[in-house]
Structure 1
Amino acid sequence: MPWLTLLVAGLLEIVWATAMKQSDGFTKLWPTTIMVVGMIGSFWLLAIAMRALPLGTAYMVWTGIGAVGSFILGVILFGEPVTAARLGAAGLIVAGILAMKLAS
């Protein structure tokens, strides 16, 4: 169960990061509201997952899910560039997440 909680926390990190981009510097109400609610939910679920998971593992996996998910949405929603270096970096993050999961 803590891994599922951590996964949802990571997905909410993607939500709040994307909403932050769309808030245009906190000048748009709804993206800013979604960002704040997403942050609260993400941090809350991360804290719950940390009850059972080691700090380093939970935090690394949470940030990794957020980073890779935000990268993917940046490409899809905002037309950010896809280069071999960026794909390789995202792949290394995914490999790190899997390694931490297997090591736990």
Structure 2
Amino acid sequence: MVGRQWYADDGYGRRVIACGSGPCTYQLYSQAGALLHTRDASKSIDTDYLYLAGSVVATRARPAAGGTETVTYQHTDALGSPVATTNAAGQVVERTQYAPYG
């Protein structure tokens, strides 16, 4: 389908497939609703999500055809909002800042 996108949701309303003009993206959820795995067919990358106490603490991205996997760790503030992502060497690769509401 050129120029069209379509989506499929599971019985809980969670998007499990997203397709555009190229390959699709697939998502797998736990019974509790946590995102466990994503397959991005356009980039040929599989990503696994690791949780602790209900929050994502790490992701592992690996090429579907083999190659080097990338592990990143998510750091949160006291409210549980993600504020930084570090790589396996402990270097900050992404920061997020939030402005107060009101």
- The TM-score range, normalised by the shorter chain, is under 0.3
TM-score (ref. length: structure 2):
0.26
Structure 1 or 2: more helix by fraction: 1
TM-score (ref. length: structure 1):
0.25
> Whose RCO is larger (CA < 8 A, sep 6+)?
1
Q: Over alpha carbons, which structure has the higher Rg?
A: 2
